[in-house]
Chains A and B, each alone.
Chain A
Amino acid sequence: MNLSSPNSLRQGPDARGHFGIFGGRFVAETLMPLILSLEKAYDEARQDPAYHAELKHLLTHYVGRPSPLYYAERMTERLGGAKIYFKREELNHTGAHKINNVLGQILLALRMGKKRIIAETGAGQHGVATATACARFGLECVVYMGAVDVERQKPNVFRMNLLGAKVIPVQSGARTLKDAMNEALRDWVTNVDDTFYCIGTAAGPHPYPAMVRDFQCVIGDETRKQMMELEGRLPDSLFACIGGGSNAIGLFHPFLDDPSVELYGVEAAGYGLNVPNGHAASLAGGRPGVLHGNRTYLLMDDDGQILEGHSISAGLDYPGIGPEHAWLKENGRVTYLSATDKEALDAFQLCSKLEGIIPALEPAHALAKIVEIAPKKPKHHLMVLGLSGRGDKDIFTVADHLGGM
């Protein structure tokens, strides 16, 4: 992965899992030996051509990669500025980018001889991807999901059940994604011998943030190659939504050392950044702290108690963010913006009507910023949206907000 120059931004993390002051391994002692053994297994796997070949085969024939880089012609015409492309991760098997990471981790679990897979999920996309891969490989799958999310994402709960996974509604704390992650960690600390924790985003204790990023880099690597083929040059700007930030880091990372490429991460501003506890923008409205194994930007009160945050999108509704994003914010390489629920809803409808593509509410946040910024750019500016998931799961949520459709 890290073949670039000494001044490269692509060399993190250090041996202790740090991106600047962010990242690290803030876990209970019981888990520390497990995390060290995972790190070792991952280091060995990524040097093994057979591992890469198997992953490549699955990504091609099971997931359907490469995903297209699609010229959004009518969106481009409507906005009247930059030439807009969609990197269509929503066309992957299971309908989102999550499967890229899950297959990498499941192959690793198989190498490590682990038979039981646990995962946390918010909107259910990572849970569905994990349940899918476990079905494919005949592994036991337990998915922790906040009881509140189980209620608001019923179709995904049914999908997971259909795929043979056991979905456990988490009743502790605020009963959403962060509590699901707490409960998955409690499971892992209890079942240390046979269980592999498949984390869904580029966060958690080292090596997860780097490992998940590596698996998601297929998004940016393909985008780079496809843009060279289509336009003969690199894109000028990339936009991706950020909850934990795995699709964004996967799109951005292969371009970190190309200073001509502007990178924009878009957080969920919910009801607005000025509404207390009314948004999920950890970078814009949080500060550095330690949760779920890493130091990163977190939404919390003055006493260090974690806040819930809010977003219309269950997939962005997490009070933290991957540590590499925290570092990329501090060094200024990525510009972090935010979009409100309303802006995302507008972009969701615009995309559906103009392109015949119903995006997930998560990437609709990134699209909202494209709607704002594309008109200000010249026509030769090549702009890419990481279209990380499809919106089928969101149509009822959207219908509620629009007063029925």
Chain B
Amino acid sequence: MSRIDRRFAAVKAQGRAALVTFVMAGDPDPALSLDILKALAKAGADVIEVGMPFSDPMADGPAVQAAGLRALHAGMTLRGVLKIVAEFRKQDADTPIILMGYYNPIYVYGVDKFLTDAKAAGADGMIVVDLPPEEDEELCLPALKAGLSFIRLATPTTDDARLPSVLANTSGFVYYVSITGVTGSARPDYSRVAIAVKRIKGHTALPVAVGFGVKDAAAAREIAQSADGVVVGSALIDALAGTLDAQGRGGPATVAAVGKLAGELAAGVAAAKERAIP
């Protein structure tokens, strides 16, 4: 059983959904970024997605784009991302870490080397936005072979005919994208999300986490009624960005702001009593 599986099982045993948080590695700088990961775990994040910054994040909205640029300006590289994960893992043996980003930096780093180094750093899985099932041979199949989870996005455009191929090589959990759009955009329609989650669960035994457009504790609570996990990214990044000075530098207040919102989100998720799913 993987760290991700164990964590989702433990959360389920508590009768609640998991809080999955996303922040960009190296934002606003490598040292604060590590502190933020620790603060997220402390505040109640059950799973942490760590962004691997890329110059051309075409599925992301303004908040995540800006976070990636700040990280790159602060000198972040894929090697640097793995270093932050390794540091985090030294102090936290249980919180699953999912690397999230785009394929090109991984391709250039070298797929085999990336998988070896990610595993050694203590990462548990990855989400690579621009690798649909049609390109599974690139990274998905080698990742599974290396013992890392490959978490796939399912979207409102993924119909029943296509779902089986999307789910075929997915492990860990399924990430349902609640809207058609980029990260951090419109608020999802909760009733449609609930229907979509049910549809996906009809095809898989994996937990289904829902993200895109979840901005606050109230929204997290709504999503947690039907999903096994709630993913929040842009809202945390907005909280982070709000503490930066004119030069883009952060400080202790940055870590505190992210931790505070994560705590509220965790409370929101825990407050979802009327869970529609067993």
Chain A interface residues toward B at CB < 8 A: 16, 24-34, 172-173, 178-179, 181-182, 185-186, 189-192, 289-293, 295, 298, 300, 302-306
Contact = CB atoms under 8 A, between A and B. Distances in A.
A28 B132 contact: yes
B155 A29 contact: yes
Of B108, B152, B159, B181, most buried by chain A (CB within 10 Å of CB) is B108
* Most chain B beta-carbon contacts within 10 A, residue among A16, A31, A178: A31
Given A190-B180, A303-B78, 4 more contacts: A28-B130, A29-B157, A173-B55, A304-B108
Given A28-B153, A172-B65, A300 B58 contact: no
A27 B180 contact: no
B182 A32 contact: no
Interface string B164-188: 0010000000000100111001000
Contacts of A192: 156-157, 180
A27 B181 contact: no
Given A173-B55, A173-B56, A189-B182, A29 B132 contact: yes
B62 A16 contact: no
Contacts of A25: 132, 134-135
Nearest to B131: A26
B204 interface: no
User: 7 smallest A-B Cβ distances: which pairs?
Assistant: A304-B108, A304-B105, A190-B181, A30-B155, A305-B55, A182-B58, A185-B58
Given A29-B166, A29-B177, A289-B108, A186 B130 contact: no
B59 A189 contact: yes
B55 A33 contact: no
* B: contact size bracket: 35 or more
Question: For the complex, would chain B's binding face be called helix, strand, loop or mixed by DSSP majority?
Answer: loop
26 contacts: A24-B135, A26-B130, A26-B135, A29-B154, A29-B166, A29-B177, A30-B155, A30-B177, A31-B157, A32-B132, A173-B69, A179-B56, A185-B58, A186-B58, A186-B61, A189-B59, A189-B182, A192-B180, A289-B108, A290-B104, A290-B107, A290-B130, A291-B104, A300-B108, A302-B108, A306-B55
B157 A30 contact: yes
B2 interface: no
A305 to B, nearest CB: 4
A304 B104 contact: yes
Interface in B128-148: 129-135
Interface in B100-145: 102-109, 129-135
B192 interface: no
B172 to A, nearest CB: 16
B56 A30 contact: no
Interface string B59-70: 111100100010
A129 B266 CA distance: 51
Contacts of A290: 102-104, 107, 130
B258 interface: no
A28 B59 CA distance: 7
A190 B177 contact: no
A367 to B, nearest CB: 32
A172 B65 CA distance: 8
B91 to A, nearest CB: 26
Contact of B56 (A27, A33, A178): A178
Contacts of B59: 28, 30, 185-186, 189
Contacts of B18: none
A27 B138 CA distance: 13
A5 to B, nearest CB: 29
B197 to A, nearest CB: 16
B158 interface: yes
Contacts of A33: 157-159, 162
A291 B107 CA distance: 11
B150 interface: no
A33 B134 CA distance: 11
A305 B72 contact: yes
